[in-house]
């Protein structure tokens, strides 16, 4: 049986790669996509999700979520993803707005999770605002969540500040609610996403794999300007490849505390613990990861 997942996302170029990998996986059943403000504002992240699902010829429902963090002012990453969130790429066809739910993302999350016959895996690849609100408004949903697989945080370093990763930095108060929830969390932080960077050569192979590969390669050509030919870090893809190929990753068990205020806001303090709820990814098979990245697009033909 395919594993039922919901993706909460702020597309975002690496989000687009991750969603595409999930939609083409024969191991995953994407029940719902919910959007959040992050890399760019909610209008763009939602439009990008609708345009992508339309482009891929899928019917996955999409629900628009929260634009602004719980407490802080919004911070975007448009310098990485472009002002629209997908670089200079333009989807040819008009997005199918019938995919878009009339309900708010938090309500759709609640309904989908409560109604699910098999506990849901939540894949969170943007700021955690929607998920934090879900837990505050509908705490009963926690009972039917198998696991949260998220891209966020780092044992060491940062990309938004010297000590904070963007998704956690963008809404540290929400992240704290999620990490403190006691739900099992698989954390793909910068330690592993940077390690599993792909190369320009890998992207060239993706480009040869038909129209989906071409779309991804075009977006990555923009995204690559922030990185380098040897190390294009497609952060959010780690979450999906963990679900489809868990053997590629090594974890350690920990409790994670999120700093919410001050100079270190957004920092994830990782304390090793035998009864921690967080499995922090510490290592990965880089060559196998790169091969699976290319393989995603072979399967789209």
Residues with catalytic function: 235
Kindly identify the residues of this chain, within the stretch 133-162, that bind ligand BDR according to CB under 6 A. 151, 159
Site string for ligand BDR, 239-278 (x = CB under 6 A): ----------------------------------------
125 binds Ca ion (CB under 5 A): yes
> Which CB, 61 or 126, lies closer to Ca ion?
126
Output the smallest distance, CB 198 to ligand BDR, in A: 15
Residue nearest to ligand BDR (CB): 166
Q: Give the separation between CA 123 and CA 147, rounded to whole angstroms.
A: 9
The window from 57-65, 202-210, 229-237, 260-268 that contacts Ca ion (CB under 5 A) reads 229-237
Q: Quick one: 110 or 178, whose CB is closer to ligand BDR?
A: 178
- Per CB under 6 A, 123 contacts ligand BDR: no
Interaction of residue 223 with ligand BDR, rule CB under 6 A:
no
Q: How deeply is 146 buried, as exposed, middle or buried, from its count of CB atoms within 10 A (0-12, 13-18, 19+)? A: middle
d(CA 37, CA 150): 16
Nearest distance, CB of residue 167 and ligand BDR, angstroms: 5
Cβ distance to ligand BDR smaller for residue 110 or 167: 167
- List the one residue from 224, 235, 245, 267 that touches ligand BDR (CB under 6 A): 235
The alpha helices in 3-104, defined as continuous H runs, are 13-24, 42-55, 78-81
Find the binder of Ca ion among 126, 153, 189, 266 (CB under 5 A). Answer: 126
Question: Would you count residue 191 as binding Ca ion (CB under 5 A)?
Answer: no
Q: Indicate whether 171 belongs to the interface with Ca ion (CB under 5 A).
A: no
With beta carbons less than 8 A apart as the criterion, state whether 156 and 191 touch: yes
> Judged by CB under 5 A, which of 4, 12, 87, 213 binds Ca ion?
12
Burial (0-12, 13-18, 19+ Cβ within 10 Å), 93: exposed
**Which of 6, 32, 77, 123 forms a contact with ligand BDR (CB under 6 A)?**
77
Q: Would you put residue 39 in left (φ > 0), alpha (ψ -120 to 50) or beta?
A: alpha
Q: Say whether residue 8 binds ligand BDR (CB under 6 A).
A: no
Strands (E) in 173-288, as ranges, are 185-188, 249-258, 268-272, 278-284
Instruction: Give the Cα-Cα-Cα angle 167, 222, 156 (nearest 5 degrees).
Output: 35
- Residue closer to ligand BDR by CB (options 14, 171) is 14
Give CA–CA dist 112/141, Å, rounded: 9
C-alpha 290/C-alpha 288 separation (Å) is 5
| Residue 159 binding: pick among ligand BDR, Ca ion, none (C-beta 5-8 Å cut-off by kind) | ligand BDR
**Which residue in 8, 15, 51, 147 binds Ca ion (CB under 5 A)?**
15
Query: How far, in Å, CA of 123 to CA of 105, rounded?
Result: 14
Contact partners, residue 90, CB within 8 Å, separation at least 6: none
Do residues 300 and 209 make contact, with C-beta atoms less than 8 angstroms apart?
yes
**What is the binding site for Ca ion (CB under 5 A)?**
10, 12, 15, 125-126, 236
**What is the binding site for ligand BDR (CB under 6 A)?**
12, 14-15, 39, 77, 80, 125-126, 151, 159, 165-167, 235-236
């Amino acid at each position: 049986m395919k594993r039922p997942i919901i993706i909460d996302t702020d597309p975002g170029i690496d989000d687009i790669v991750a969603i595409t990998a999930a939609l083409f996986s024969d191991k995953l059943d994407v029940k719902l996509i919910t959007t959040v403000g992050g890399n760019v504002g909610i209008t763009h992240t939602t439009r990008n999700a609708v345009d992508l699902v339309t482009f891929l010829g899928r019917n996955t429902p999409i629900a628009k979520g929260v634009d602004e963090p719980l407490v802080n002012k919004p911070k975007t990453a448009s310098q990485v993803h472009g002002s629209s969130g997908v670089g200079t790429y333009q989807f040819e066809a008009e997005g199918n707005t019938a995919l878009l739910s009339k309900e708010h993302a938090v309500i759709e999350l609640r309904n989908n999770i409560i109604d699910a016959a098999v506990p849901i895996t939540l894949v969170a690849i943007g700021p955690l605002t929607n998920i934090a609100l879900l837990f505050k408004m509908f705490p009963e949903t926690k009972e039917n969540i198998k696991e949260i697989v998220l891209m966020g945080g780092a044992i060491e370093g940062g990309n938004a500040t010297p000590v904070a990763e963007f998704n956690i930095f963008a809404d540290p108060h929400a992240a704290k609610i999620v990490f403190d929830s006691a739900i099992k969390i698989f954390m793909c932080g910068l330690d592993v996403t940077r390690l599993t960077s792909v190369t320009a050569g890998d992207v060239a192979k993706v480009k040869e794999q038909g129209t989906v590969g071409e779309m991804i390669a075009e977006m990555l050509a923009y995204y690559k300007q922030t990185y380098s030919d040897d190390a294009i870090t497609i952060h959010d893809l780690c979450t999906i490849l963990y679900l489809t190929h868990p053997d590629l990753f090594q974890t350690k068990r920990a409790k994670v505390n999120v700093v919410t205020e001050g100079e270190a806001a957004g920092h994830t303090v990782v304390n090793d613990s035998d009864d921690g709820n967080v499995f922090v990814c510490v290592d990965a098979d880089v060559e196998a990861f790169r091969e699976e990245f290319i393989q995603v697009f072979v399967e789209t033909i």
